[in-house]
Amino acid sequence: MSKQKAKNNLDIETLKQSLQREFVGRCKKNSAYSMRAFAKFLDIDQSFLSKFMRGQKSISTETALALSRKLGLKPSSLNNEKNVTVKDTFLPLLDDEFAVISDWYHFAILELSKTRKFKSDAKVIAQRLGIHVEEARSAIDRLRRIGLIRLEDGNFTLNAPNNTWTNSQATSDARKLLQKRLLDRGITAIETVPFELRENGSLTVAIEKKRLPEFKQKLAKIRLELGDFFQASSNLDEVYQLTISFFPLTKIEGDSNEDYN
């Protein structure tokens, strides 16, 4: 197999995602961590690394394999680089759908793009959402690759006015993780956001358990109605999160808890 063939068979996109995740993780642990330090760790030119991670540079097979070793993404056989394939080269990583669902700021970026003074600039987005600039860049890249946005002359546009991940039939680890993170942010907001800029309330009510499907349908309808109500304005300027939790305070009688995960 030729070098070009091997290069084409390498999962370069997965490598780029892995580099983005690793860099963001290091930046979270150390706010002073820089691209220069990351490039030094990887033993690669800083400018080249930055451009590759942003999709502005291609990469050779040899360099891709070297970076994969640095990150611990072990090929099935490092001694036989001419037979490298997408399936064998890298250990499985979290896919884009999981990343979008589990990281709240992906949804926030989509909604932020609807506001009147929005700029398709990762630094500005990061500042508005209180995240690291590399998190913003990586998120924009994921949103583009899974088709939720498109890039045109450095600016991005939504491919659909609204997107939803609602599923009334089942849950998943990704959905659970997203809800946990949103609830955590809601708790933080109670302490950090002025009362007049937020709303926190609750309802404790006795119900007939068999009517749960009806209640879920009504809550889903309310969410959609509120979305339409707020976005009818042409002067959008902030992004808010509505999180509704409806769960039993009593121990469920006659049913396995698994039915309510």
CA nearest 115: which of 255, 10, 235? 235
Q: Residue 67's pLDDT is what?
A: 87
Going by C-alpha positions, the residue among 91, 66, 71 that lies closest to residue 25 is 71
Q: Domain limits of the chain?
A: 3-93, 94-261
- The neighbouring-strand residues paired with 157 are 150
**Cα(144)–Cα(195) distance, integer angstroms:** 36
Query: What pLDDT sits at residue 1?
Result: 37
C-alpha distances in angstroms, 71 versus 10, 68, 92, 207? 16, 5, 13, 52
Distance (Å, rounded) from C-alpha 168 to C-alpha 163? 16
Give me the pLDDT at residue 236, please.
94
> Cα torsion for 44, 47, 48, 54, to the nearest 10°?
120
Query: What phi-psi label fits residue 147: left (phi over 0), alpha (psi between -120 and 50 degrees) or beta?
Result: left
- In terms of Cβ atoms closer than 10 Å to its own Cβ (0-12, 13-18, 19+), residue 226 is exposed
Name every residue whose Cβ is closer than 8 Å to that of residue 111 and which is 6 or more positions away in sequence.
239
Distance CA 20, CA 13 (A): 11
Could you count the other beta carbons within 10 Å of the beta carbon of residue 225? 10
Spatial CA neighbour of 23 closest among 151, 141, 118, 107 = 141
Q: How confident is the model at residue 144, as a pLDDT?
A: 79
Q: The dihedral of CA 190, 195, 199, 202: what is its sign?
A: positive
pTM of this prediction? 0.64
Give me the average pLDDT of each 10-residue run along the chain (261 residues). Answer: 40 79 80 85 88 81 84 51 34 42 83 91 93 88 78 81 61 78 92 94 92 90 89 92 89 61 45
Q: Which two tokens stand for residue 77?
A: 């056989």
Give pLDDT, residue 15: 82
What is the per-residue pLDDT for 239?
Answer: 95
pLDDT at 166 (0 to 100): 58
